[in-house]
């Protein structure tokens, strides 16, 4: 599988900007339910679905975070959907009765950005509002009124995913439109989860729309009465500061704020109200369960040791080990809030929408792009995060510097992206610090040629040399050639890996030694790790002659346990043809599984916890 820097989270994190030391609230509620605060995108209605949990809303209060006003109480499902939409980011407070069901007491909602579009870029799937770059993905929800306007008024029944639409971004959005955007702050602006047309909010008689923007205060100048948010200049006076939020503190650089006001230019807003956005945890909720979905915007290691601070959704989160976290990754964190403000993580999942990934060697480059052995032409854009792990782990390269670093070195590249308007939007590009010679390609299958090959990103995947054991299902278990092709459909996300030496990597063709269906998301801590689950993910924390410990569970290895070929190859330093049962190997379990290795283990729980397979993640 592809490497991912989000390998293992620290067991405890602390929300710095919302740290409380109160004793009210939290804990188990009546009937054994657990108090919960869950922040994430709405994925469905019939009550409301957030972070994989259905919360009943019949007795909930719907609150606008703009002014804490109650919009609805005890709403019907129709009333709820008239106010909220799929893709909108909300914060639910209530209780969870099991892994899939809960009851909402309050639901708070707010747009991240409201204003006039000043530019649209179809090439990289972005548009600009108030100087803020907004990125769309295939999963970004587009409001039905936007689609209807693009189609000349033809009515459609509901909102749709951008990836399901035939229209390009510039056919849907144009300069001059007023939009409200839900999304997650990222390094390059805002990653949109929902885009709505809010032109109807413009005041009667042509009055101006109240603009909204959130971000971190920078370059504060008290004398001039202005500061910056992501390049946007905000002008204000003391009367614009929320009296409650700023009763005991002053406006300061580094604060995460929401600004309401009037846009006086494409890059300037005159504030009418400035509020602090730091109330995720407060006096009414300081224990119980927390769920946070978002994009890791910043990573700040401590000067000494492994600890540091990550920033997600405006929250500063302290972790004991910052090294596994990587900027730009979209994640879902679940944990239990402690009385001291720390969180014990119970689940950490990669929510990245980057369905296209490749690892390969760059063979040529020009001023704006580079080409890999497989013939993929990869063009960085303004939304691409560019990293070079070979030179002091430089994580913020310019396009020129990134391409210049590739040219002389025949560098090995890892690239991630997703299909967008018939092309690929590359979101993350990294020059790797290793000498691997194989090539890997993951993405949606575009076409299938009988049972001998299929195509991904225009590359023919030749499976003629794949051993039967190396056709794998999404759980990592071998399913064989026949079963693989009987299940394969266009659109399925599949990964193909060449021989270790890279002889199977050529322009337009990858001769595979392994192909596998890819699960939708990678789970790095928790999830699939419960005492009743048959898949355990995590790092190896202990190994004996016939057991390993992963995610706190001791797993027995027997002679039939299938060991992933990449694990054996790492132990031997030479390529092997396929996975092997442990009983056939000369290596000991300790030689195969070093402490700290990230693995996925399929287990049989019929008599103890026995490993069926062990795969290197």
DSSP 78-97: HHHHHH--TT-EEEEEEEES
Q: Is the model more confident about 142 or about 397?
A: 142
Q: What distances in angstroms separate CA 33 from CA 36, 41, 98, 104, 367, one per listed residue?
A: 9, 23, 8, 12, 58
Give the architecture-level CATH label for domain 30-109.
Beta Barrel (2.40)
pTM of the full structure: 0.75
Q: Write the pLDDT tens digit of every residue in 133-160.
A: 999 998 899 999 999 999 998 899 889 9
* Helix residue ranges per DSSP H, 308-418: 399-406
Q: Write the pLDDT tens digit of every residue in 329-376.
A: 788 888 777 666 666 666 767 777 678 999 999 999 888 899 999 999
CA 184 to chain centre: 10
Q: Is the model more confident about 33 or about 404?
A: 404
Q: Write the pLDDT tens digit of every residue in 178-233.
A: 999 999 988 778 999 999 999 876 543 445 678 999 988 999 999 999 999 988 99
The predicted pLDDT at position 65 comes to 82
* Helix (H), strand (E) at residue 129: strand 126-129
As assigned by CATH, the class of the 12-19+286-350 domain is mainly beta
pLDDT above 70 coverage of the chain, percent: 85
Residue 255, C-beta contacts closer than 8 angstroms, at least 6 positions apart: 216, 217, 276, 278
The predicted pLDDT at position 97 comes to 78
The predicted pLDDT at position 20 comes to 33
Residue 209 DSSP label: P
Closest to 271 measured CA to CA, from 230, 314, 223, 237 = 237
CATH code: domain 356-517 is 2.40.50.320
**What DSSP line would sit under 559-611, residue for residue?**
TTPEEPHHHHHHHHSS--SS-EEGGG-SS-HHHHS-TT-EEEEEEE-TTS-EE
Sign of CA dihedral 158, 160, 165, 167: positive
Residue 203 DSSP label: P
Q: Is the pLDDT of residue 451 over 90?
A: yes
- Average pLDDT score over the chain: 84
Closest to 271 measured CA to CA, from 227, 240, 228 = 240
Domain residue ranges in the chain: 12-19+286-350, 30-109, 113-276, 356-517, 532-616
The predicted pLDDT at position 521 comes to 59
Q: What is the average pLDDT across 487-491?
A: 93
The predicted pLDDT at position 340 comes to 64
User: In this structure, which CATH number among 2.50.20, 1.25.40, 3.40.50, 2.40.50 belongs to the domain 532-616?
Assistant: 2.40.50
d(CA 346, CA 341): 16
């Amino acid at each position: 599988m592809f490497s991912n820097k989000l390998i293992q989270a620290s067991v405890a994190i602390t929300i710095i900007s919302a740290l409380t030391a109160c004793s009210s609230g939290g804990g188990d509620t009546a009937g054994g339910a657990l108090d919960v605060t869950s922040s994430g995108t709405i994925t469905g209605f019939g009550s409301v679905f957030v972070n994989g949990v259905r919360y009943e809303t019949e007795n909930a209060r719907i609150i606008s975070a703009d002014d804490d006003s109650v919009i609805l109480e005890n709403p019907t499902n129709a009333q709820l959907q008239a106010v909220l939409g799929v893709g909108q980011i909300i914060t639910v407070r209530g209780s969870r009765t099991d892994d899939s069901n809960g009851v909402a007491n309050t639901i708070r909602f707010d747009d991240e950005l409201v204003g006039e579009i000043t530019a649209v870029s179809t090439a990289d799937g972005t548009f600009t509002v108030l100087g803020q770059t907004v990125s769309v993905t295939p999963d970004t929800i587009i409001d039905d009124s936007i689609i209807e306007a693009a189609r000349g008024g033809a009515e459609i029944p509901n909102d749709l995913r951008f990836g399901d639409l035939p229209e390009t971004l510039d056919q849907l959005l144009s300069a001059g439109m007023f939009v409200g955007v839900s999304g997650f702050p990222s390094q390059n602006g805002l990653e949109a989860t929902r885009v709505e047309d809010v032109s109807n909010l413009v005041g009667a008689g042509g009055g101006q729309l109240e603009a909204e923007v959130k971000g971190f205060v920078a370059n504060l100048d008290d004398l001039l009465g202005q500061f910056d948010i992501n390049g946007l200049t905000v002008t204000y006076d003391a009367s614009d500061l929320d009296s409650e939020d700023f009763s005991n503190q002053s406006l300061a650089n580094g604060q995460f704020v929401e600004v309401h006001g009037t846009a006086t230019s494409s890059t300037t807003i005159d504030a009418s109200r400035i509020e602090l956005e730091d109330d995720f945890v407060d006096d009414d909720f300081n224990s119980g369960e927390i769920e946070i979905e978002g994009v890791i915007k910043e990573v700040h290691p401590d000067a000494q040791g492994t600890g540091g601070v990550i920033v997600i959704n405006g929250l500063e989160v302290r972790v004991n080990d910052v090294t596994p976290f990587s900027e730009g990754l979209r994640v879902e964190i679940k944990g239990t809030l402690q009385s001291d403000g720390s969180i014990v993580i119970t689940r950490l999942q990669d929510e990245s929408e980057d369905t296209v990934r490749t690892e390969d060697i760059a063979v040529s480059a020009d001023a704006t792009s580079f080409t890999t052995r497989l013939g993929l032409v990869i063009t960085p854009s303004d939304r691409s995060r560019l990293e070079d792990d070979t030179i002091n782990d430089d994580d913020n390269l310019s396009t020129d510097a990134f391409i210049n670093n590739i040219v002389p070195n025949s560098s090995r590249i890892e690239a991630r992206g997703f299909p967008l308007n018939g092309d690929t939007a590359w979101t993350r590009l990294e020059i790797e610090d290793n000498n691997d010679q194989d090539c890997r390609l993951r993405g949606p299958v575009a076409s299938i040629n009988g049972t001998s090959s299929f195509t991904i990103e225009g590359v023919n995947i030749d499976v003629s040399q794949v051993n039967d054991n190396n056709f794998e299902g999404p759980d990592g278990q071998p399913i064989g050639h026949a079963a693989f092709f009987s299940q394969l459909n266009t659109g399925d996300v599949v990964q193909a890996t060449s021989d270790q030496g890279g002889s199977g990597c050529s322009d337009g063709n990858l001769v595979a030694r392994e192909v596998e269906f890819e699960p939708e998301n990678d789970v790095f801590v928790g999830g699939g790790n419960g005492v009743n689950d048959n898949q355990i993910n995590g790092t190896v924390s202990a190994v004996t002659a016939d057991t390993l410990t992963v995610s706190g569970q001791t797993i027995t290895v027997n002679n039939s346990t299938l060991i992933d070929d990449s694990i054996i190859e790492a132990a031997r330093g030479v390529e092997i043809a396929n996975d092997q049962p442990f009983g056939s190997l000369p290596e000991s379990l300790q030689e195969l599984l070093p402490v700290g290795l990230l693995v996925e283990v399929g287990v049989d729980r019929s008599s103890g916890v026995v490993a069926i397979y062990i795969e290197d993640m």
